[in-house]
Amino acid sequence: MARNVLIIGAGPGGLAAARALRAYLDPNDRIVVIDRHDEQRLGVTLLLIMRGWREPEEVMIRPSRVLAGTAELLVAEALQIDPAARRVETSVGSITYDALVLASGAEVVPEVIPGLASALENGVAGHCWTLPAALQLRERLQCFPGGRVLIVVARLPYKCPPAPYEVALLVRDLAQERGIDQSIEVTVVTPEPSPLAVAGPAIGEQLTRLLEARGVSVRTGEQLSSVDSRHREVVFASGSRELFDLLIVVPPHRAPALVRDAGLADGDWVPASLETMRTSVEGIWAIGDVAAVRIRENLLVPKAAVFAQQQAEVAARDIARWLGYDAPEPEVRAYGRCWFLTGRGVAGAIEGDFLAEPRPAVTLSSPSPEGFTQMEGELANWLAQDPGR
């Protein structure tokens, strides 16, 4: 009897899961990917859009074309998951499953910080963790007259861990391009003990030196408590306050309501096994940004596309074996590279093995034109999977 495997989310993880599953399942098995939109972009492209180097349509793929011959794309909103009945209700009807992969990504929820949502609405603050927000911030930065730019990480974890530090350097790069470099001040504030703490203290020290050398100051160990739009001031849990002319924030992230309402989340995220990507519920796997994949007690796999794609392969192999197919055993990996944009035509790379003991073995390569060229090459390869481009 043919099986139904559903994947909620057509991002990098969901697409990779569909391709991997097709390699391991019977040709008659049905693979359905559910997503509200037939368009996807990599997270790094939001930085390129924000900086004005790329337009949204230039860095977009159509999952329907990528999945042709591999899986079905159902363009619909997933509304409810019923684990007991193994059914997902969507905006166009219900669909049952034998196995379900949660690849829904994370949602941004500025409303959990008092004053933040209204600051974003009235233009006092901005961010670049969604396409509309990246476009709005691009416009704001192009006409920003100068002053104090405060970049605040609201909560941990969040998508694309290096991004706030890249934003800081790109803001300075744009200010130099516009000739207002001397009239702008950029500060990054994070609750982490050091910048990009997930990569270890050595990377934090190296990153701090890089930022300070380019005129960006860093404050660590501060948890955002509230935003006062009228006085252009943020308040931290410690009681300290910071004034700003423009606030750029990493808004709080969490698993979408769909999975939280189904009882699949523990707090903000869906726990998933590093070895299999299984959740606590039989027949459901979670990969990518929606998942909390623990490496050791105080370390989760970072939320980035490269790790979502590795987790997709692990989940696909485990699902195939769980369904009774002779698939290879899952190969546990958490090795990744994230490009680190610092200015026009220049990028470094943060790369390493997060499974290394006793701590992640991660390096930060010096930003260079060669790094930027390699980043563009990887982006071109990702876009090339869409045959319609």
Quick one: average pLDDT of 256-273? Answer: 97
User: Is residue 51 pLDDT above 90, yes or no?
Assistant: yes
> What is the structure's pLDDT at 60?
98
> What digits encode the pLDDT tens for the residues 225-242?
999 999 999 999 999 999
> What digits encode the pLDDT tens for the residues 344-355?
999 999 999 999
Maximum CA extent, the chain: 69
Quick one: average pLDDT of 104-113? Answer: 97
Going by DSSP bridges, is the β-strand pair 241-243/246-250 parallel, antiparallel, or unpaired? unpaired
* pLDDT tier at 359, thresholds 50, 70, 90: confident
Quick one: average pLDDT of 260-288? Answer: 98
**Spatial separation of the C-alpha atoms in residues 99 and 38, rounded to whole Å:** 23
> What is the structure's pLDDT at 358?
87
Quick one: average pLDDT of 146-154? Answer: 98
> What is the structure's pLDDT at 1?
83
DSSP element (H, E) containing 35: strand 30-35
* pLDDT tier at 296, thresholds 50, 70, 90: confident
DSSP 281-339: STTEEE-GGGEEEEEETTEE---SHHHHHHHHHHHHHHHHHHTT--PPPP----EEEEE
